[in-house]
Amino acid sequence: MTSTILWTILILSGLGLVLAVVLFLIAKKFKVEEDPRIDDIEKALPGANCGGCGYAGCRAFASSAVTAPDLEKHFCPVGGNAVMKQVASILGFEMREKAPQVAVLRCNGTCEARPRVNTYDGLKSCRVKASLYSGDTLCAYGCLGCGDCEAACTFGALHINPDTLLPEIDETKCTACGACVKACPRMLLELRNKGPRGMREFVACRNLDKGPVARKACANACIGCGMCLRTCTHGAIVLENNVSYIDFSKCKLCRECEAMCPTGAIHGVGFPKPLDKEAVKERIRKRKEEAAHE
Amino acid sequence: MEKLLISPSPHIHSGASTQKIMRDVLIALAPAELLAVLVYGWSELLLLAVGVTACVFFEWAITRWMLKKPSTIGDLSAAVTGLLLVMNLPTSTPWWMAVIGALFAIGVAKMSFGGLGQNLFNPAIAARVFLLISFPQQMTDWTATPGFIHATDAISGATLLGVYAEGGMDALVAAGYPGNHRLFFDIGGSAGEISAGLLLLGFIYLLCRRVVKPWIPLSIIGTVVLISGIFYLVNPAVYTGPAFNLMTGGLLLGAFFMATDYVTSPMSDWGGVVYGVGIGLIVMMIRYFGSYPEGMSFAILIMNCAVPLINRAFHSRKYGRA
Amino acid sequence: MSKITFPIGGVHPHDSKIAAQRPIEMLPLPPVVYVSMAQHLGAPAKPVVAVGDSVKVGQVIAEPGGFISAFVHSPVSGTVKGIAPRKDLAGNPVLHIEIAVEGDEWMEGIDLSDTLVTDIPDDPAVIIEKIKACGVVGLGGATFPTHVKLSPPPGKKAECLILNGTECEPYLTSDYRIMLERPKEILVGAALMQKALGGCPCVVGIEENKPEAVKAMRAAIEELGWQQKPVRIAVLKKKYPQGGEKQLIAAVMHREVRSGALPIDAGAVVQNVGTSLAVYEAVQKNKPLITNVLTVTGKLLPAERQHNYLFRIGVPLSFIIEQAGGEPDGAVKLVSGGPMMGKAIANPDATTVKGSSSVLYLGAEDTVRKEASACIRCGRCADACPMGLEPFLLNRLCKAGDLEGLEANAVQDCIECGCCLYSCPANIPLLDRIRIAKGQVIGAIRARAAAKKQ
């Protein structure tokens, strides 16, 4: 009896020892030499593996970054400048600051503004819907409301509002990874600079139809009337294919276009005070009068 | 027309539904179970009522209170599990064991895997095996309970397969082997084994309704006949014959209704054949060389494990890729 | 005669050919027509008329916009009122030419008589040129330009012309009606295409549920005295999708088109009977493709409101609906095409195109999808798939976004026939997902091929 126990202990211990040696040798022989900086960079990264940088995940980003000649093609939108500073210092590169961005929705066709003419009865997916027809409203460019963007967002920053059937973006959670931009078959989501103290202006519409058609489809549509273009004194507005677009690099956030827009398609976000349309219109009128005097 | 309905094609549907399929299975099982109730009386009726109700109740309760999802009992799959479970129990089983069986079938074997379509094992068989291991005494007590119609040759005690497993061929011959197996009325064993003929009838109904395909049962039966035939021819003094093996131990019940369970059997026809052959092999190995008397449940459970592998190995023939 | 069929899968929907007994009627002209520039597969056509021009019936109003494209002719006489984007039946803007109808004045040289012309031009090039000039496209659904299909690439030879008269989609009866009413023209059209293809034999495939059409076509062969010619009628089993190009080739020729290959690689050219009629009219009568036959049908319509209309291409659907007595009560969905592969109409103001084959009304009971439940792994989708695919597996791979797995499991071979979704007892939207994945995989394959070339 005692000898059985003894033998068991001996054999098992011996086996353990032999296997340990084998494991050690194998680990030695097949050791993969890896740049230690990859681990460092990966640690510095947020670890969301969202793919927003264009690489398969944080590790892929790190192993690509260590071989890159500069950080031109490597930017982690989730970590932003703070993380990139760390990455740059690990690699000994110059840090190039990027303005923080956020996703904005270029559609404001709420249920009220866009009467529904059709009902969808299929897989709940914007992609399927977009491949099938122009959508439940007369607008062939607007949000389809099935929430592909919501499904694509790994940060829980996007939610379809059941009342408007439009996605709403939670700025505090949005990391500008761009997943929603890729998911939207209508290309309605855009990454824009967050702007100074979070203030920004954008045209919340992509309807390329001519004014009357767009208007009929949606009360909030950009009708391409050019009012904003004529109002803007900074040359920040481009009017192409019946729809306006604000270049955020030129926009001075004066909110004049927003006040003048007849359909309310231009949205201002993050401003401390609500827009006093009449005051702004008065200001524009006075300026024009002065210009006429001169 | 106010608003037009838009959906991707196709715009019509065959009308097939999970509920209709399960209803067909219930209809197919009904004749055999009805006869069992007639022959085994109140105790079988009580088991049936308790087993089916418990399965349906547990599924409803789990979806309602634990998963907080809409109830799925409308698809009748829980009722099918309940009926199959009852048909797999001896008629003298106490009713509370049916409740435990139902809880295991629905709670453990089905819902914990994610509900209908996700389970690895056939819930009814898993529950039967669970009960067999937990309550070996009750689960092998084959005392026929008094029925509504008079069954002349009511036997009690062990089944013939049980006798064979215990005492070998000598004991079996003493118990009346080879005997005359009757297709439509054969007492002994689980409730569902009462009539091979009615089971066959039910299976033919399923075939006609295109609910199941014949390949799995055919390959099980073929394998059993082949193996027992060979062994029987080599040494009939030791090994039981094909007819005996087909008619006993719930083989037909298993082959027709349990092995053909969609969820736990392979998707492709050839996969089904491999699966059936596997079941046939295992069941005969258990019967000839194992210590358990029958083995259909074990054979099906073991082959259930192999289904994901079989599904990987066998695919349908694709057009233009020969 | 034994009935032939395709080897894998298939389903048996009720054929619901309610409009079968209604003869073809001439649809009156509307005040305005809208002619779409994208009514064929390939590049949209380019308008060659200007606003204010007056046009005659059969006059060219748009030219092909590429190699795979087609001429478009004016279906009416009148004045061009506008050339602008207009919503198609999916609601998406497409360039249309708007013509106000004035009288019915045809171009010279178009033979409007009923006389059957059986003399076939000797030169295949002449036939193909006429087909091209008359803007003939495949009328079986895909609207692929016919002249391209009839000009096999060098090194490939057509061994058999299959005329598709299966009309396997439920409800549709337009092909059936033309086979009953104009069988000889169809056969002459086939003979023209045989000639164009270098004299291959021709098989007309007709499903067994149309015995009258089989009889009419056989009688026409006899009346033409063509018993000795290499043209025969094949009766096919009633099984959907018997009229799928690949399925028809397998049924008739016992050959399978390799994955990724074209029918011509298997020596087959498949043309719809309607296309054959269009070819006849183009080559023998100089008449461009400006009319087609369309079925107005649905269970909700009483028998006397079922119609088979000969319509001018460009007539708005709403005009046809009005002529046919309006929408029936209880209709929730309008479908252009058959119920298995047709498109739901989002915009009834859209115009008809060359390939329009029906206006089908469906009631809620027939068409509203039931809520999807769990997959019970019954394998019915795989049994139903005529391409031998495993939709349950593809669906799972779609959900996981596994494009490589999808390609390995041949999602790109899907013909979008709808058999999987039709037969699924759990109402899982299999095809909805698979269709999107198929597009992605084909895109990836093309991108790879393009990268390889460079």
Chosen from C5, C87, C321, C378 to mutate, greatest number of chain B CBs within 10 A: C378
Contact A118 B6 (CB under 8 A): yes
Of A111-115, B124-128, B160-164, C432-436, the poorest mean pLDDT is in B160-164
Handedness of CA B263, B266, B268, B269 (dihedral sign): negative
Does residue A14 sit within a domain? no
Chosen from B3, B7, B13, B262 to mutate, greatest number of chain C CBs within 10 A: B13
Strands A237-240 and C54-55: unpaired
Structure tokens at B308: 């994901």
C1-21+108-368 folds as Rossmann fold (3.40.50)
Residue A206 sits in the same domain as residue A284: yes
Residue A51 sits in the same domain as residue A73: yes
**Is the confidence at residue C250, as pLDDT, over 90?**
yes
Does residue A114 sit within a domain? yes
Structure tokens at B113: 């895997």
Residue A193 sits in the same domain as residue A246: yes
User: Can you give the pLDDT at residue C366?
Assistant: 92
* Comparison of pLDDT for C340 and B238, the residue scoring more: C340
Structure tokens at B114: 């994610």
Q: Answer whether C110's CB lies under 8 Å from C98's CB.
A: no
3-state secondary structure of A46: coil
Angle between helices C174-181 and C273-285 (to 10 degrees): 50
Q: Which residues are within 8 A (CB) of A184 and not within 5 positions of it... i.e. 6 or more apart?
A: A126, A148, A149
Contact C387 B318 (CB under 8 A): yes
> Which chains have at least 3 CB atom pairs separated by less than 8 Å from chain C?
A, B
Does residue A274 sit within a domain? yes
The letter for the amino acid at A232 is: C
For chain A, give percent helix, strand, coil, nearest 5.
Answer: 40, 15, 50
pLDDT category at A86 given cuts 50, 70, 90 is: confident
Does residue A140 sit within a domain? yes
**Is the confidence at residue C275, as pLDDT, over 80?**
yes
Residues of C in contact with A209 (CB under 8 A): 93
Interface residues from chain A to B (CB-CB < 8 Å): 116-123, 128, 132-133, 136
Q: How far is A49 from chain B (nearest CA, A)?
A: 28
Neighbours of A228 (CB within 10 A): 26
**How far are the Cα atoms of C49, C73, C97, C354 from residue C46, in angstroms, in the given order?**
9, 12, 10, 16
**Is the confidence at residue C10, as pLDDT, over 70?**
yes
**How far are the Cα atoms of B269, C18, C22, C173, C183 from residue C180, in angstroms, in the given order?**
42, 16, 11, 11, 6
Does residue A7 sit within a domain? no
User: What range defines the domain where residue A203 resides?
Assistant: 101-290
Strands (E), C323-412: 331-336, 343-344, 358-363
The letter for the amino acid at C355 is: G
Residue A258 sits in the same domain as residue A170: yes
Whether residue B6 lies within 8 A of chain A, CB to CB, comes out as yes
Q: Answer whether B219's CB lies under 8 Å from B272's CB.
A: yes
The torsion defined by the Cα of B51, B55, B57 and B59, in degrees rounded to 10, comes to 180
User: Can you give the pLDDT at residue A1?
Assistant: 65
User: What does the mean pLDDT of chain C come to?
Assistant: 94
**Is the confidence at residue C369, as pLDDT, over 80?**
yes
The answer to whether the pTM exceeds 0.90 is no
Contact A133 B3 (CB under 8 A): no
| Burial of B152 (C-beta count, 10 Å sphere; 0-12/13-18/19+) | exposed
Residue A46 sits in the same domain as residue A126: no
Contact B12 C170 (CB under 8 A): yes
Residue A76 is part of a domain; what is its CATH number? 1.10.15.40
Residue A236 sits in the same domain as residue A153: yes
User: Can you give the pLDDT at residue B249?
Assistant: 78
User: Can you give the pLDDT at residue B181?
Assistant: 61
Q: Which residues are within 8 A (CB) of C452 and not within 5 positions of it... i.e. 6 or more apart?
A: none
Residue A232 is part of a domain; what is its CATH number? 3.30.70.20
User: Can you give the pLDDT at residue B155?
Assistant: 53
What order do you get walking across the sheet with C231-236 strand by strand? C231-236, C202-207, C160-165, C268-272
Does residue A248 sit within a domain? yes
Residue A198 sits in the same domain as residue A252: yes
pLDDT per residue over B159-212, tens digit each?
A: 777 777 777 777 777 766 666 566 666 666 788 888 888 999 999 999 999 999
Residue A166 sits in the same domain as residue A285: yes
User: Can you give the pLDDT at residue C147?
Assistant: 94
Q: Which of B210, B211, B13, B8 is nearest to C14 (CA)?
A: B13
Strands C307-312 and C291-297: antiparallel
Residue A69 sits in the same domain as residue A105: no
C-alpha–C-alpha distance, residues C197 and C191, integer Å: 10
C-alpha–C-alpha distance, residues C60 and C48, integer Å: 8
Residue A174 sits in the same domain as residue A241: yes
pLDDT per residue over C227-238, tens digit each?
A: 999 999 999 999
Whether residue B312 lies within 8 A of chain C, CB to CB, comes out as no
| Burial of A4 (C-beta count, 10 Å sphere; 0-12/13-18/19+) | exposed
Q: Answer whether B41's CB lies under 8 Å from B147's CB.
A: yes
User: Can you give the pLDDT at residue A76?
Assistant: 86
3-state per-residue secondary structure call for C76-124: CCEEEEEEEEEECCCCCEEEEEEEEECCCCECCCCCCCCCCCCCCCCCH
Strand partners, C46: C63
pLDDT per residue over C174-220, tens digit each?
A: 999 999 999 999 999 999 999 999 989 999 999 999 999 999 999 99
Residue A75 sits in the same domain as residue A157: no
Residues of C in contact with B115 (CB under 8 A): 374
Q: Which residues are within 8 A (CB) of B5 and not within 5 positions of it... i.e. 6 or more apart?
A: A118, A119, A120, A121, C332, C333, C344, C367, C368
Structure tokens at C43: 């590049």
Residues of A in contact with B3 (CB under 8 A): 116-119, 136
3-state secondary structure of C326: coil
pLDDT category at C439 given cuts 50, 70, 90 is: very high
Written as tens digits, the pLDDT of chain B (322 aa) is: 568 999 999 999 999 999 999 999 999 999 999 999 988 889 899 999 999 999 999 999 999 999 898 988 999 999 999 999 999 999 889 999 999 999 999 999 999 999 999 999 999 999 999 999 999 888 887 777 777 776 555 555 567 777 777 777 777 777 666 665 666 666 667 888 888 889 999 999 999 999 999 999 999 999 999 999 999 999 888 888 888 888 887 899 999 999 999 999 999 999 999 999 999 999 999 999 888 877 899 999 999 999 999 999 999 899 988 7
Structure tokens at B3: 């608003």
**How far are the Cα atoms of C54, C103, C115, C121, C285 from residue C112, in angstroms, in the given order?**
21, 16, 9, 19, 7
| Burial of A27 (C-beta count, 10 Å sphere; 0-12/13-18/19+) | exposed
Count structural domains, chain A: 2
For chain C, give percent helix, strand, coil, nearest 5.
Answer: 30, 20, 45
Residue A139 sits in the same domain as residue A267: yes
For residue C117, which phi and psi values (nearest 5 degrees)?
A: -105, 115
C-alpha–C-alpha distance, residues B234 and A142, integer Å: 78
User: Can you give the pLDDT at residue B226?
Assistant: 96
C-alpha–C-alpha distance, residues C36 and C134, integer Å: 16
Does residue A8 sit within a domain? no
**Is the confidence at residue A65, as pLDDT, over 90?**
no
Q: Answer whether C90's CB lies under 8 Å from A134's CB.
A: yes
Whether residue B291 lies within 8 A of chain A, CB to CB, comes out as no
Q: How far is B92 from chain C (nearest CA, A)?
A: 33
Q: How far is A289 from chain B (nearest CA, A)?
A: 51
pLDDT per residue over C374-428, tens digit each?
A: 999 999 999 999 999 999 999 999 999 899 999 999 999 999 999 999 999 999 9
User: Can you give the pLDDT at residue C134?
Assistant: 95
Does residue A196 sit within a domain? yes
User: Can you give the pLDDT at residue B140?
Assistant: 80
Whether residue C332 lies within 8 A of chain B, CB to CB, comes out as yes
Chain region(s) in chain C for CATH 3.40.50.11540 = 1-21+108-368
Q: Which residues are within 8 A (CB) of B123 and not within 5 positions of it... i.e. 6 or more apart?
A: B81, B85, B105, B106, B109, B110
Residue where a domain terminates, one of A91, A110, A128: A91
